[in-house]
A and B are shown apart, each in its own frame.
Chain A
Amino acid sequence: GAGVSQSPRYKVAKRGQDVALRCDPISGHVSLFWYQQALGQGPEFLTYFQNEAQLDKSGLPSDRFFAERPEGSVSTLKIQRTQQEDSAVYLCASSLAYRTKLYEQYFGPGTRLTVT
């Protein structure tokens, strides 16, 4: 079956440009997460959606980062006025349910963003 997909897989942006990264979660998954993985590091939580509601955005590093999931399925992570420190792999994950014992996150392939 189809897993989590992300596009584009690679993005090069000049400093100051805006970028938009797309995530298609597994169909029917209620929960959607965004993580940022810097080179040589573990992923770090950015934000969480339950359906279309953004319940937790505590991990967003600055107000240049914005995420949305308007219809409760596809999500977009937007970064405005990109800076070099934004260079990282952005991972999207989805899970079937909210706060259940069977909870497990399934990760997409990631978008590698390079800001020059």
Chain B
Amino acid sequence: ELKVEQNPLFLSMQEGKNYTIYCNYSTTSDRLYWYRQDPGKSLESLFVLLSNGAVKQEGRLMASLDTKARLSTLHITAAVHDLSATYFCAVDQISNFGNEKLTFGTGTRLTIIP
């Protein structure tokens, strides 16, 4: 059974600081997603990582994927308050029935402190 673990679960950062969220998963997969979720809202897709060594950047967020280590990271540079949210990684796998399905991590609740 695929397991996806994120750490830390909670993160308080000061504005302007850098930090990294880690996502480890237990079985082989070649697709990994990062989502953002604001309180009471749905999931917003941030990044789709499709291959080993993939790196994508959008603003102050950068995501990378190492399929050999089964590890993805979400790096935050010079954090600003607007980045406060819960961040999920999700690993894509093919089910026994032939469809894709996502297995999510438990999420990292990020709070940016002025």
- Which residues of A are in contact with B by a Cβ distance under 8 Å? 31, 33, 35, 40-45, 48, 50, 55-56, 58-59, 91, 98-99, 101, 103-110
Tell me the interface secondary structure of chain A in the complex: loop
Q: In the bound complex, do residue B106 and residue A99 qualify as a contact, i.e. CB atoms below 8 Å apart?
A: no
Q: In the bound complex, do residue B101 and residue A42 qualify as a contact, i.e. CB atoms below 8 Å apart?
A: no
- Which residues of B are in contact with A by a Cβ distance under 8 Å? 4, 31, 33, 41-43, 45, 48, 50, 88, 90, 92, 94-107
Question: Given the complex of chains A and B, what is the CA–CA distance between A50 and B97 in angstroms?
Answer: 11
Q: In the bound complex, do residue B97 and residue A55 qualify as a contact, i.e. CB atoms below 8 Å apart?
A: yes
For B102, list chain A residues within 8 Å (CB).
33, 35, 43, 45, 105
With A55-B97, A56-B97, A99-B98 known as contacts, the answer to whether A108 contacts B88 (CB < 8 A) is: no
For A107, list chain B residues within 8 Å (CB).
42-43
| Distance between A100 CB and nearest chain B CB, rounded to angstroms | 9
Of A45, A99, A106, the residue contacting B103 (CB under 8 A) is: A45
